Amino acid sequence: MTHITLEIDAQRTQATLHGLSGRLGDLTPLMIDIGELLVESTKQRFQDGISPAGIPWPENSPLTLSRKKGTRPLIGETHQLSNGIASAPTANSVTISSGMIYARTQQLGALQGAFGRDTRNHPIPWGDIPARPFIGLSDKDGENILDTVQEYLNLTPDGGTP
């Protein structure tokens, strides 16, 4: 399984989750909910063709278009990359990942030949692959996480109890 580690600068969300972990201990049920939320928002990015920051992914090159069915970036015939998004919750965190070996390359991009050459001396990859980030935390994800935390704790939006 390919793991991509991203540092998310979402201070309010991180501070809230860190504080909860210290006060409540095992947050696995909350992390399961957050994981489900993030898996769904990540899968939606494949439909929308945008990064977590809302930036449209670069279009496929003419060469890529000549080699595959369909025209949408990161949407292959099998949909394995988008369908393989999964979460792994723990007592105080959740990891969102893809089991596809090429996920990191799609997320971060790669230059032609970055991974060497094949047995016929062709570059791997055979052309430049632009970054098309799909894993990450959008502003809306951060809001949804905070809403989920408030719901989990049965809090009102201002942090009080109903």
User: What pLDDT does residue 122 have?
Assistant: 95
* Mean pLDDT rounded to a whole number for the chain: 84
User: What pLDDT does residue 60 have?
Assistant: 87
Range of the domain at 68: 22-149
As a whole number, mean pLDDT of residues 47-68 equals 90
Write out pLDDT tens, residues 87-121.
999 988 899 999 888 899 999 999 999 999 999 99
Q: Which of 3-7, 38-42, 64-68, 73-77 has the highest mean pLDDT?
A: 38-42
Residue 98 in domain: yes
CA 36 to chain centre: 12
CA distances from 154 to 38, 146, 148, 157 (A): 21, 12, 9, 10
Q: Which residue has the higher pLDDT, 3 or 49?
A: 49
Residue 84 in domain: yes
Residue 11 in domain: no
Residue 160 in domain: no
Write out pLDDT tens, residues 10-55.
676 667 666 666 667 788 999 999 999 999 999 999 999 999 999 9
Residue 88 in domain: yes
Residue 1 in domain: no
Q: How many domains does the chain have?
A: 1
Residue 13 in domain: no
User: What pLDDT does residue 78 have?
Assistant: 80
User: What pLDDT does residue 27 have?
Assistant: 86
In our burial notation (b when 16+ CB lie closer than 10 A, e otherwise), range 120-153 reads: eeeeebeeebeebbbbbbbeebbebbbeebeeee
Residue 14 in domain: no
